[in-house]
Amino acid sequence: MLEILNKFFNFCGPENKRKFQLSIVCGVVMALFEALKIPAIMVMLSALLAGTVTPATIWSCLGICVVSVAGASIVKYRSTMLQCEAGYGTAAGKRIEIAEHLRYVPMGYFNNNSLGYITSVTTNTMEQLGDIATRVVMLTTQGVLTSLLIACMLLSYDWRIGLVVFVGIGLFFLVNSQMQKKSESLSPRKLAADSALVEKLLEYIQGITEVKAYNLTGSTSKTLNHAIDENVDVNITLEKTFIPYMGVQNLVTKMTGVVMVLLSIWFYLNGSMELIVCISMMICAFMVYASLDSAGNYSALLRTVDASVDKAQAILDVPHMDIDGADKTPESFDIDVENIQFSYDKRTIIDGISVHIPAKSTTAIVGPSGGGKTTLCNLISRFWDVDSGCVKLGGVDVKQYSMDALMRNFSFVFQNVYLFQDTIANNIRFGQPDAPIEQVVEAAKKACCHDFIMALPDGYDTVIGEGGATLSGGERQRISIARAMMKNSPIIILDEATANVDPENEKDLVTAIEALTKEKTIIMIAHRLKTVRNADQILVVDQGRIVQQGKHEELIQQDGIYRRFVNARETSASWKL
């Protein structure tokens, strides 16, 4: 138990750990205030038994009770506030820390781990740590400390009754340790079931079109139903497992109280205990274990807290790329790729590519699907780190730049655009959040999306659905281009920026892209022949290598992949590079 508590407090960070510790201290002080009721009872009983009850006695007892109740209430309020601040502060801080950490992990991490798993950790797991775990940890800690404190006080009145209390606490922890062992095996299963449920639910919602098309709704959605059933089963199993142990814990505490009462009466009858002490011990028998009962019931979830901390820490322990480079601006925007190698899951994706991309030039990358085009662009922009070789920007290895400094030099327009659930204006100014609306409108006009934006109910203040779900593919594409225009980076990577644009808008958009890319270094993954023809150089990438390189006029004269692709494109409008 102590190991789990220590792990939790260390995970929370210094500031929140301090708040938890202060809350525990407040809990002990609250227990002292609660314990003041015992002296108040004894003062009144002593006066009643002696027949010397006076107004002063009554006022004394009343004063002690008022101090007890008021002090306990004030300290409890402060303790609760500290718990809430520390608990919710931990959840919020760790969510931000995980988000910041994920910015710098290799993109391969997201291939190995599903969106559902990461979402589950940042939502369910953090919620458990911020809310449930806080209550579990604090009630368990304060319950144990309070019971031990009261036991010590009873020990000072009569060592025999105090010894009985400590024996009861010992038996309680013996049963509790067995419950902890059961929880240790079940808690990982519960967290796994929670993650699987979130994962399958997200998968179901994101693929709802295919789900409907293949009639996989309702009872026919086996994977989702299985995840739900597993989640229900593990929660029921937890309850069935813990309830018997909780019952035995409560029985131990109640029976110890009964033993305290019987022994107190026996000690009084044989003359070894005064009547006032006997009555006080009998009253205390019903008070001493109240907080321990609550702590025992919640302690069943300590292993879940332990597993939740491990789960969150596992993400934070994922090695991120070296981001401690210098915050500097390149002297030039030439890009040099020097004999780079890159493998994923022991499969070679990039195999010895070298290329020079001059500043303010246009480089088109073409080739068969799966040849390594996107991976090459990801390595140039350092979404991944190369296994060997190096990528240089302005003659300096990209690893020598800080990640933020490096990213300032790149803008991206992907074919699969992601927009955030926010206003259209904020999505456009994403790279420059403080930009005035005039610049947003100017960028939107250049990207040919001003007219359709103004046709929306709230214009630029229209809140779009998550991922841009309320807009068409072409509309999302144009907003993405407007966003890139706002960032105004010297290097632009395009993944067929006109792929989802209506034919009537394509001409204007091509003009806008020419304005966007003017006097900039352009790297484009090309799927359309007309976007390739005017490139300063064309790279034909196949099986992780550059198999052809040159201008359109040069490559079309060579017998190779490029000419075959061009010939196929001329005979089939649906052909894609």
Q: Which of 12, 1, 236 is nearest to 126 (CA)?
A: 12
Longest dimension (CA), the chain: 120
What's the CA angle centered on 491, arms 391 and 361, to 5 degrees? 90
Q: How many residues does the chain have?
A: 577
Is 92 within the bounds of a domain? yes
Is 166 within the bounds of a domain? yes
Phi, psi of 125 (to 5 degrees): -65, -45
Q: Alpha carbon of 567 to those of 145, 525, 544, 562, 570: distances in Å?
A: 82, 19, 23, 9, 5
**Interatomic CA distance for residues 26 and 20, integer angstroms:** 10
pLDDT of residue 501: 58
Q: Which of 416, 447, 426, 441 is nearest to 513 (CA)?
A: 447
DSSP states of 465-526: PGGGTTS-HHHHHHHHHHHHHHH--SEEEEE-TTTTS-HHHHHHHHHHHHHHHTTSEEEEE-
Q: Which of 450, 468, 470 is nearest to 460 (CA)?
A: 450
pLDDT of residue 355: 92
pLDDT of residue 117: 75
pLDDT of residue 17: 85
pLDDT of residue 500: 56
Is 365 within the bounds of a domain? no
Phi, psi of 495 (to 5 degrees): -110, 80
Q: Which of 168, 134, 91, 86 is nearest to 302 (CA)?
A: 134
**Interatomic CA distance for residues 555 and 567, integer angstroms:** 12
**pTM score of the predicted model:** 0.65
pLDDT of residue 577: 44
Tens-binned pLDDT, residue by residue, of the chain (577 aa): 667 777 888 888 888 888 888 888 887 788 788 777 777 877 887 788 777 888 888 888 888 888 888 998 898 888 888 888 888 888 888 888 888 888 877 766 776 666 677 777 877 778 777 777 677 767 777 777 777 777 887 788 788 988 888 888 888 888 877 877 777 777 778 777 877 787 777 777 767 766 666 666 665 567 778 888 888 888 888 888 878 888 888 888 888 888 988 999 999 899 898 888 888 788 777 777 676 776 666 666 677 777 778 888 888 888 777 767 788 888 888 999 999 999 877 788 898 899 999 988 889 888 888 888 888 888 898 888 888 999 999 889 988 888 888 888 888 887 777 788 888 899 888 877 888 899 889 888 888 788 888 988 889 998 887 667 778 777 887 888 888 888 888 898 887 666 655 666 566 666 667 766 777 888 988 766 667 777 889 999 888 899 889 888 888 888 888 888 777 766 654 444 4
**Interatomic CA distance for residues 263 and 163, integer angstroms:** 12
Query: Tens digit of pLDDT for each residue in 212-224?
Result: 666 666 655 677 7
Is 255 within the bounds of a domain? yes
First to last CA, the chain: 60
pLDDT of residue 335: 92
Is 80 within the bounds of a domain? yes
Domain with 118, as residue range(s), is: 2-316
Is 38 within the bounds of a domain? yes
pLDDT of residue 497: 63
Is 369 within the bounds of a domain? no
The CB-side HSE value for 451 (13 A sphere, CA atoms) comes to 4
pLDDT of residue 495: 76
Is 260 within the bounds of a domain? yes
pLDDT of residue 262: 92
State the total domains in the chain: 1
Query: Tens digit of pLDDT for each residue in 165-183?
Result: 888 888 888 887 787 777 7
CATH of the domain at 61: 1.20.1560.10
